[in-house]
C-alpha cells in the first residue's frame, strides 16, 4: 500500500536513508529540512530528482512548521504518516551545558515534534486515521555519561509519545517509537558541545573524557559492520508497511547488544503500564480504535 509520508530532518543521517528507502518502495514523500536552497541544497536536489516533494521546514519555528505542513497538504494532500526524525545529539559534561544549550536542544528534539503534531493532528482526528513514528534512542531508555542533555530530551520524547498514544487511540491514530542505538552517520558530525568551556575545564583530566569516549565508540562502530544505519531506515519502512493494529509501540534497532537489553526494560514497562491502566479502568486507551 502506498502512503503519503512527511519526514522531518530528511537531509542527512537516518533521514536521508529513510527518504531514499521510502521512495524505493513507491511511497509519496514530503522531505522536510532546513535550508534546502543553502547548505542542504545537494541533498534536496537529489531527493527532488527521485520524486520527493522537498519543503523547507525548521521544526523550532511555529510559522515555518505551519507553512511547511500547509505546503505539503497543497502538494500531496494531508500526509497519513509522519516520521519525526529531526534531532540533534550532544557530547560533553552535563554541568558545562548552559540552560540556553538545553533550551535549544529541547526545541529541536521535543518541542519540534509537538509543533509538527499540532499542525497535523486536527485533520487526522477528523478523518480518524494516521501513523506517527517518533525517532527516539536507546539513550531515551537508559543514561550514559557525557550525553546527559540528550538522554533527557529523548526520555521526554518517550513520555510525550506515551501520552499521544493513549490520548489519540480513540481517533484511530497509531503512535510508534523507534529506538536506535549508536550508528555512524552525519549525526555524529553535528553533536552539540557545551557552551561553558571553562566549567568543563574545571573538571580537570575528566574534561577530556567525553571526546575520548566518542573516539572509542567510533572505533567500535568501525569494527562492527552489522551496525549499519540502513537498519534504522528499514525498521521505519517496515512499520509503515504493517497493517493497523499490528505495529509494535516500541522498536529497538541495534547490533551492539544494548538493544536486546533494553527490550526487556520495554516489556516490563509495557506490563506495568497495562496493569496501571487496568487499575484505573482506562486500559482501552492503549488500543487504537478502528473505524
Q: Which residues are catalytic?
A: 150
Residue 99 has a CB neighbour count (10 Å cut-off) of: 8
E strand segments, the chain: 4-7, 28-33, 53-56, 81-84, 130-135, 173-180, 250-253
Residue with cell 493532528: 121
DSSP string for 98-113: -HHHHHHHHIIIIIHH
Q: What is the 3-state secondary structure (H, E, C) of 149-187?
A: HHHHHHHHHHHHHHHHHHHHHHHCEEEEEEEECCCCCHH
Q: Are 35 and 61 in contact (CB under 8 A)?
A: no
Residue with cell 502538494: 75
Amino acid at each position: 500500500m502506498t502512503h503519503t509520508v512527511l519526514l522531518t530532518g530528511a537531509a542527512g543521517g537516518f533521514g536521508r536513508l529513510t527518504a531514499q528507502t521510502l521512495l524505493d518502495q513507491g511511497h509519496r514523500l514530503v522531505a522536510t529540512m532546513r535550508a534546502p536552497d543553502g547548505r542542504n541544497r545537494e541533498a534536496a536536489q537529489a531527493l527532488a530528482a527521485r520524486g520527493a516533494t522537498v519543503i523547507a521546514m525548521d521544526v523550532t519555528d511555529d510559522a515555518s512548521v505551519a507553512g511547511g505542513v500547509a505546503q505539503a497538504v497543497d502538494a500531496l494532500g494531508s500526509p497519513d504518516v509522519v516520521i519525526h526524525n529531526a534531532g540533534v545529539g550532544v557530547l560533553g559534561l552535563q554541568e558545562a551545558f548552559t540552560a540556553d544549550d538545553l533550551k535549544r536542544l529541547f526545541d529541536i528534539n521535543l518541542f519540534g515534534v509537538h509543533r509538527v503534531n499540532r499542525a497535523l493532528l486536527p485533520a487526522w482526528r477528523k478523518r480518524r486515521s494516521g501513523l506517527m513514528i517518533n525517532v527516539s534512542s536507546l539513550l531515551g531508555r537508559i543514561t550514559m555519561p557525557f550525553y546527559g542533555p540528550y538522554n533527557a530530551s529523548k526520555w521526554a520524547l518517550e513520555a510525550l509519545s506515551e501520552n499521544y498514544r493513549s490520548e489519540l487511540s480513540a481517533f484511530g491514530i497509531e503512535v510508534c517509537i523507534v529506538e536506535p542505538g549508536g550508528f555512524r552517520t552525519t549525526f555524529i558530525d553535528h553533536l552539540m558541545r557545551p557552551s561553558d568551556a571553562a566549567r568543563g575545564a574545571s573538571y580537570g583530566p575528566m574534561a577530556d573524557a567525553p571526546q575520548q569516549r566518542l573516539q572509542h565508540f567510533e572505533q567500535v562502530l568501525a569494527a562492527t559492520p552489522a551496525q549499519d544505519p540502513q537498519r534504522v531506515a528499514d525498521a521505519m519502512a517496515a512499520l509503515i508497511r504493517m497493517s493497523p493494529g499490528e505495529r509494535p509501540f516500541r522498536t529497538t534497532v541495534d547490533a551492539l547488544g544494548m538493544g536486546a537489553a533494553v527490550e526487556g526494560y520495554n516489556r516490563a514497562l509495557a506490563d506495568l503500564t497495562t496493569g496501571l491502566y487496568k487499575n484505573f479502568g482506562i486500559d482501552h486507551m492503549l488500543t487504537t480504535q478502528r473505524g
